[in-house]
Amino acid sequence: MTASGRRIYLDYNASAPLLPEAREAFVRALDITGNPSSVHAEGRRARAALEKARASVAALVGASPPQVVFTSGASEAAATCLTPAWRDAGRPVSLPRLAVLDTDHPCLREGGRFVESDVTRLPVERDGIVDLKSLGAWAEEGPGLLALTFANSETGTLQPVEAVAAICRENRIRLVLDVVQAAGRLPIDTLLPLADALILSGHKIGAPKGVGAFVLRSEDARPEPLLTGGAQETRQRAGTEALPAIVAFGAAADVAMQSLERAGELAGARRHLVDRLARLDPKLVIGRPETTLPQTVAIHHPSLKAETLQIALDLQGIAVSAGSACSSGKLGPSHVLASLEAAGAPIDAKAGAIRVSFGLETSLDELDAFATAFERIWRRSVGDEDPKAA
């Protein structure tokens, strides 16, 4: 446990703490009896709450409410959008190929509803940015779909969406963007005009787990639904909507919009932590600040096994991650670090990396407490026991 006697949570990229506003909205929605599809007064009340939440999520990405389709989370949204079967104005459209980044989140990287032989995993440069030449060569081969994680969940690396979108437009490639980690941390309302769909997750911005959405640029261009059998969500996702979770998602989206005004505070906190780590070794932190999420710090050292470091910090009351929450429970090196190493980055993928991710609620004192604990462990690992370590 930390000196203060309480734990320090630094794993916001895995799941942000539930916001009070989202909790209150969730509890209030539990008292809404009606089904949003019912036409009586109770049903209309449920429908009104649903549509209010839809408008809030739409505002977060600069969309209109009808463009938002609620799902059980980002993984379901990805499985829906990553399909070779789309429709344009009701007419079927076939997309025979899919490209993803080798560093993408597993919900994209594994190809959704495409067969494995039709999925291409594109390489990245040593800094984690997509290899635009490889993307261009793939795009020139004919129609297809590109799915891209805008902000990498492990390293925080941001992709050059405008350059990617230009290649897609030139070659009639549809683009699906996973903006899960960027929502509420960076403005994302300029991204929808560049893509065919955006993917969101509620619990990454302080809503309950189990709710997400995909947002379509055009109501006419849409993927064939994954879940059929009902007319909910404009026939894009059958099943009665999880109203309390969706209402809480809307409340969290409202807070996320307001939080953008304080994004500079996140970047400042990141600089504070990176500066402290640089005193130990300037090569500890992966990525450049100008192309990294403002609240994500990926730390790598070949003498430290990430899992060992994670456990040591956990025993001291500090929660960090040793990779994406959707893959860190698996044995073997991070596919993200393996891709960076293959591209020439000075990384030992077998050692792994820890990810520190935080929010506006995180204090500089908490980041300093992490840095102090990390320094002690790091010095032992390199045989440099410093009794004056801060």
Q: What is the pLDDT of residues 154-163, one digit of tens each?
A: 999 999 999 9
Residue 372 has pLDDT above 80, yes or no: yes
Q: What is the CATH number of domain 20-259?
A: 3.40.640.10
Q: What is the location of CATH 3.40.640.10 in the chain?
A: 20-259
Q: Give mean pLDDT, residues 367-389.
A: 80
Residue 384 has pLDDT above 90, yes or no: no
Q: Give mean pLDDT, residues 60-66.
A: 97
65: phi then psi, degrees, rounded to nearest 5: -55, -40
Tell me: the pLDDT tens digits for 314-350?
Answer: 999 999 998 655 544 455 578 999 999 898 989 889 9
Helix (H) / strand (E) containing 70: strand 68-71
Tokens of 330: 């698996």
- Cα 281 vs. chain centroid, distance in angstroms? 28
What's the pLDDT band for 385 if we cut at 50, 70, 90? low
Asked if 51 and 60 touch (Cβ cutoff 8 Å), the reply is no
Position 379 scores a pLDDT of: 87
Tell me: the pLDDT tens digits for 181-209?
Answer: 999 999 999 999 999 999 999 999 999 99
326 is catalytic: yes
What's the pLDDT band for 301 if we cut at 50, 70, 90? confident
Q: Tell me the torsion sign for CA atoms 252, 257, 263, 265.
A: negative
First-to-last alpha carbon distance for the chain, in angstroms, is 18
Position 173 scores a pLDDT of: 97
Q: Alpha-carbon dihedral of residues 57, 149, 181, 75, nearest 10 degrees?
A: 70
Give DSSP secondary structure letters for 270-336: HHHHHHHHHHH-TTSEES-GGGB-TTEEEE--TTS-HHHHHHHHHHTTEE-BSS-TTTTTSSS--HH
Position 288 scores a pLDDT of: 87
Tell me: the pLDDT tens digits for 279-291?
Answer: 999 999 998 888 9
Q: Give mean pLDDT, residues 32-43.
A: 96
122: phi then psi, degrees, rounded to nearest 5: -80, 145
Residue 355 has pLDDT above 80, yes or no: yes
SS3 (DSSP) at 8? strand
* Alpha carbons 76 and 80: distance in angstroms, whole number: 6
Helix (H) / strand (E) containing 88: strand 85-88
DSSP conformational letter for 351: T
Q: What is the CATH number of domain 8-17+262-381?
A: 3.90.1150.10
Position 389 scores a pLDDT of: 44
Please tell me which residue in 81, 107, 168, 326 is annotated as part of the active site: 326
Tally of CB atoms within 10 A around 375 = 18
Alpha-carbon distances of 245 from 115, 201, 275, rounded to whole Å: 32, 11, 39
Share of the chain above pLDDT 70, in %: 95
Q: What is the mean pLDDT of the chain?
A: 93
Residue 241 has pLDDT above 60, yes or no: yes
Q: In what order do the strands lie in the sheet with 221-223?
A: 91-94, 85-88, 221-223
Q: What is the location of CATH 3.90.1150.10 in the chain?
A: 8-17+262-381
What's the pLDDT band for 3 if we cut at 50, 70, 90? low
Q: Give mean pLDDT, residues 144-153.
A: 97
